[in-house]
């Protein structure tokens, strides 16, 4: 299945706190770390060829892996030295 427009966005502090209070954990399923980033991409869904958007809330580590896999810049890491 073709996917494109991969993106990684950092949540702001309020969002991080909100999801922590809700008990959300990394969407990868094998990971119980709190969520801090939203990763997403577009894909064609169904036989009609509609374009859909998939988004997942994931932890920092998995957002980083997603960024590396798709050649993206990890938000919040630009200034890290
Ligand atoms: Zn994770």
pLDDT tens for residues 6-41?
Answer: 999 999 999 999 999 999 999 998 999 999 999 999
Q: What is the mean pLDDT of residues 53-76?
A: 94
Cβ contacts of 13 within 8 Å, gap of 6 or more: none
- The answer to whether residue 79 is domain-embedded is no
Write out the two tokens for 71.
């050649």
- The answer to whether residue 75 is domain-embedded is no
Give the domain range for residue 18: 3-69
41 to each of 4, 44, 81, how far by Cα in Å? 6, 10, 28
Burial, 12: exposed, middle or buried (Cβ in 10 Å; 0-12, 13-18, 19+)?
Answer: exposed
The Å distance, Cα 38 to ligand 1 centre, comes to: 11
The Å distance, Cα 26 to ligand 1 centre, comes to: 5
- The answer to whether residue 81 is domain-embedded is no
Percent of the chain with pLDDT over 70: 93
**Shortest CA distance to 15 belongs to which of 55, 43, 72, 54?**
55
- The answer to whether residue 76 is domain-embedded is no
């Amino acid at each position: 299945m073709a996917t494109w427009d991969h993106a990684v966005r950092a949540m702001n502090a309020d969002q991080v706190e909100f999801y922590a209070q809700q008990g959300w954990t990394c969407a990868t399923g094998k990971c119980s770390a709190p969520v801090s980033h939203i990763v997403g991409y577009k894909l064609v869904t169904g036989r009609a060829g509609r374009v859909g958007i998939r988004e997942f809330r994931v932890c920092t580590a998995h957002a980083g892996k997603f960024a590396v896999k798709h050649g993206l810049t990890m938000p919040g890491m630009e200034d890290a030295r």
